[in-house]
Structure formats: structure tokens, C-alpha cells
């Protein structure tokens, strides 16, 4: 398993975080067998709380894989913190056209090395009022199309009880119930030979997010709504007109 090849800083991170999560959460986990595989894998997850990375990392690590998350490149330039993130094999993501290509190259390299890359396709915690998935960015689809790596869906419900983004309240009490479920790789074969046009990437992204939505409905109950669309930001001209 990947954990046997961990370096000092990775083992340090596990020793620091895992005992806290064992006390802090009461876990229901299913589908870990979908991560018991060799080779690169893209793990796509719903994003409901700032506690998600801790919960999902615990699940993925105990599935036998070392999770590699994407992080803002600016964080990697912070003294000490950035150094540790690099040593823990996390992946910086740059903004902008040229830098975005460099970030994609880093992700492809991680998958070529057999890594388990974790992506939150929405790019941020969902803004849907009831924490259902929303329309996502196309990065995960672009990476899947470029590499052909399997895309494994992972859904969580319960991290919002640890930290609810709607209220910004942290709950420190122990044994908070959390459910994490991984599923079979998403079938994206119909787009295997398609060019990475905007239309193709958006179709693939919707297929990914609908799978996450439907899996989430199975563990939290209720009827899932259509993928939520973020309100468009008002244009500068519109804002100036209101000011006038």
C-alpha cells in the first residue's frame, strides 16, 4: 500500500491528524474497495465544508492511498507551510492561462506516478442553500480527458456538522457522525476520443456532478434538485449605472 512508502513529513501529518479525526468523528464508510487499486486515480468529491479535506483524507488514507490535494499556489509560497505541503506531495495550482497549463502538467505527472489526486470540481464549498452540489468548473474533466485515468466519485455528508459554511460555526464536540461513500469509476468512455472543446468538457463535468448529486441523495435522503447555478456577477457597467 502507498502508506508504506511515506516519507517523514507524510507520517508526521498522519500522526498529527488521524488521532484527532478518530476522536472528533463517528464514521460510516463505504466503497473503499474502489480505491484499492494500483495506478493513478482522479477522486472527485462534493464540497460542503472546510472540514471536507480532513474527513476525506482520513477515508482515502485508510483505503490504502495517499491523497494529493490541489492548493492555491500562494499557500505553497508561505515559509515553512509551503515547504511541508511540498514534502507531503500536495499540488500547487496556479491561476491564469500559462500557469494553468503548468498546473495541469503537475497533475498529469502525479497521475503518471500512480498518485491519488483529489479534486473538488466546484472549486469552492457549494453555495446551494441546502448544500447540494452546484455547477462545477471543468478542470476534472480536462484532466480525465488528457490522461484517461479512472474518475472515482466520493461523497460526504456530516462534515457540515463540524464546520458549517453557512454559519461559519465550528463544532468541537467529539464523535460527530460523518458518512463517506466512494463509488464505481464514472463511465466517461463516450468522450474518450473527443477534442477538449468547451461543450465536451461541460458535458463531462455535468455527468460527474450529477453522479455526485445522486450518490449524495442516497446517503442524506431527500429529492436532489437540479445542479445549482451560481448567480452571475453584476458587470462593472451595471454597477456604475446603479451608482449613478
Task: Give 18-27 pLDDT, tens digit per residue.
Answer: 999 999 999 9
pLDDT at position 96: 60
Residue ranges of domains in the chain = 2-243
CB atoms under 10 Å from CB of 170, counted, come to: 10
| Residue 169, SS3 per DSSP | strand
Mean of pLDDT values over 40-68: 96
Asked whether residue 237 carries a pLDDT value surpassing 60, the answer given is no
- The 3-class secondary structure across 56-81, one letter per residue, is HHHHHHHCCCCEEEEEEHHHHCCCCH
Q: Using pLDDT thresholds of 50, 70 and 90, give the confidence band for residue 236.
A: very low
pLDDT, position 2 = 44
- Which pLDDT belongs to residue 104? 83
User: 52 pLDDT exceeds 80?
Assistant: yes
Listed in sequence order, the residues at least 6 apart from 55 whose beta carbon sits closer than 8 Å to its beta carbon are 21, 25, 156, 158, 159, 162, 178, 180
- For 17, 21, 146, 171, the CA distances from 25, given in Å and listed in that order, are 12, 6, 37, 11
Q: What is the average pLDDT value for the chain, to the nearest integer? A: 90
- Are 143 and 107 within 8 A, CB to CB? yes
pTM: 0.91
Instruction: Give pLDDT tens digits for 77-109.
Output: 888 888 989 999 999 887 665 566 677 888 999
Low-confidence winner among 1-5, 175-179, 209-213 (lowest mean pLDDT)? 1-5
What percent of the chain is modeled with pLDDT above 90? 76
| E strands, the chain, in order | 25-30, 41-45, 67-72, 91-93, 116-119, 151-157, 163-164, 169-170, 176-182
Residue 97, pLDDT score: 52
CA distance 93 to 58: 22
Say yes or no: domain 2-243 is CATH 3.40.50.1370: no
Amino acid at each position: 500500500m502507498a502508506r508504506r512508502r511515506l516519507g517523514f513529513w507524510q507520517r508526521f501529518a498522519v500522526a498529527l491528524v488521524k488521532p484527532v479525526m478518530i476522536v472528533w468523528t463517528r464514521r460510516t464508510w463505504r466503497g473503499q474497495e474502489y480505491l484499492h487499486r494500483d495506478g493513478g486515480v482522479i477522486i472527485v468529491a462534493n464540497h460542503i465544508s472546510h472540514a471536507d479535506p480532513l474527513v476525506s483524507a482520513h477515508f482515502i488514507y485508510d483505503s490504502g492511498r495517499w491523497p494529493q490535494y490541489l492548493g492555491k499556489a500562494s499557500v505553497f509560497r508561505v515559509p515553512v507551510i509551503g515547504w511541508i505541503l511540498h514534502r507531503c506531495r500536495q499540488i500547487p495550482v496556479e491561476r491564469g492561462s500559462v500557469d494553468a497549463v503548468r498546473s495541469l502538467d503537475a497533475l498529469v505527472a502525479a497521475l503518471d506516478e500512480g498518485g491519488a489526486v483529489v479534486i473538488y470540481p466546484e472549486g469552492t464549498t457549494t453555495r446551494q442553500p441546502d448544500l447540494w452540489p452546484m455547477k462545477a468548473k471543468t478542470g476534472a474533466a480536462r484532466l480525465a480527458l488528457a490522461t484517461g485515468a479512472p474518475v472515482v466519485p466520493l461523497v460526504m455528508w456530516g462534515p457540515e456538522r463540524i464546520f458549517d459554511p453557512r454559519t461559519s460555526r465550528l463544532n468541537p464536540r467529539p464523535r460527530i457522525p460523518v458518512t463517506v461513500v466512494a463509488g464505481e469509476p464514472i463511465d466517461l468512455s463516450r468522450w474518450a476520443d473527443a477534442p477538449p472543446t468547451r461543450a465536451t468538457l461541460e458535458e463531462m463535468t455535468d455527468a460527474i456532478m450529477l453522479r455526485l448529486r445522486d450518490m449524495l441523495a442516497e446517503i442524506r435522503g431527500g429529492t436532489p434538485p437540479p445542479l445549482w447555478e451560481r448567480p452571475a456577477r453584476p458587470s462593472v457597467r451595471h454597477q456604475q449605472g446603479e451608482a449613478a
